[in-house]
Structure 1
Amino acid sequence: MAEVIFYEKPGCINNRKQKRLLQEAGHSLDARNLLSAQWSPDSLRPFLGTEVSGWINKSHPDLKAGKLALDLKDPEAVLAQLCADPLLIRRPLMVVSGQCLQGFDAGQIDQLIGLKRLPDEDIETCPKSHTLDACKAESA
């Protein structure tokens, strides 16, 4: 079975479900706090895809409230903002079999290391995304 480094936001409902799927499949997890990791553009960039909008946690309270704007046409500026405020990073970040991954694409993970079962619900979108206060309380 695989060793998975799993950067999560502690207390995140979906990260808990994602870790459970990995553990049920027999994989060993090294769970780390995404928010307290010391991110730099060089350390974060390997996890990110080519589409800048896919880097972003769209449930970030300040984004949802319109208090924060990101210039998606300036990837370096967005990367700097992600490093400065890791809550902006779409999660989880994982290192699986030497590959850096962002988000939880169950099909991709199943092909890469195997899962016993695929989720029967959306475990990427924050279930509290409709409630700003819940996300603010969770991020505190």
Structure 2
Amino acid sequence: MAIVHFYEKPGCFNNARQKQILVAAGHLLVVHDLLQFPWKDNRQRLRSFFADLPVPQWFNSSAPAIKSGELDPLTVSETQAIEWMVANPILIRRPLLEVDGRRRVGFDIDNIDAWLGLAEAKPHANLDLETCPKLHQTQACQP
């Protein structure tokens, strides 16, 4: 059992499913509102969740500014990416996870299982727990 700090967008369908899987595996969640967290004062903390991932993988592909092409994660520096995310947290890929000082972004089921253990709670199908189901509709992820 791990104590998992889980940074979510309240009301996000996939974040709800991710939390259910973690709780079913016996983990205790401390849930934080990613959109209200004071990232302005915690830029280094935010950066630490992304580790060595390429900058484009830091972004929520369902965010309106990304989906519309207004912002292009492929052309941005690390510093600019963090500034965009501080100004508009909906741009941050979800969830952000922290356990015992180790931080990660996203919910790749195999990586989460290897890191924290999901046991019988691990879904058996190739379930996409990161892509917003609204992405294939006309709606975009809204703050």
Q: TM-score, normalization: structure 2?
A: 0.87
Other-structure match for 2:104: 101
Other-structure match for 1:22: 22
Query: CA separation in 1, counterparts of 2:75 and 2:51?
Result: 13
- Residue 63 of structure 1, CA deviation: 1.8
1:133 to 108, 117, 139: 139
- Answer with 27-36 or 42-51: which moved more: 42-51
% same residue: 44
The count of corresponding residues between Structure 1 and Structure 2 is: 137
Q: Deviations over 1:3-30 (max 9, x none)?
A: 0000000000000000000000010000
Query: CA separation in 1, counterparts of 2:4 and 2:47?
Result: 18
- Detail structure 1 runs of 4+ shifted over 6 Å in the superposition: none
Query: CA separation in 2, counterparts of 1:14 and 1:48?
Result: 19
Unaligned residue ranges in structure 2 (runs of 5+): none
Unaligned residue ranges in structure 1 (runs of 5+): none
Q: Which letter does structure 2 place at the counterpart of 1:36?
A: Q
Query: CA separation in 2, counterparts of 1:15 and 1:111?
Result: 19
Other-structure match for 1:11: 11
Query: CA separation in 2, counterparts of 1:42 and 1:83?
Result: 11
Other-structure match for 2:122: 118
Q: Secondary structure at the match of 1:48?
A: coil
Q: Which letter does structure 2 place at the counterpart of 1:92?
A: P
Whether 1:57 aligns to 2:63 is: no
Other-structure match for 1:45: 47
Other-structure match for 1:89: 92
- Answer with 11-20 or 46-55: which moved more: 46-55
Aligned-residue Cα RMSD (Å) equals: 1.6
Q: Deviations over 1:65-90 (max 9, x none)?
A: 23334463421111110111110000
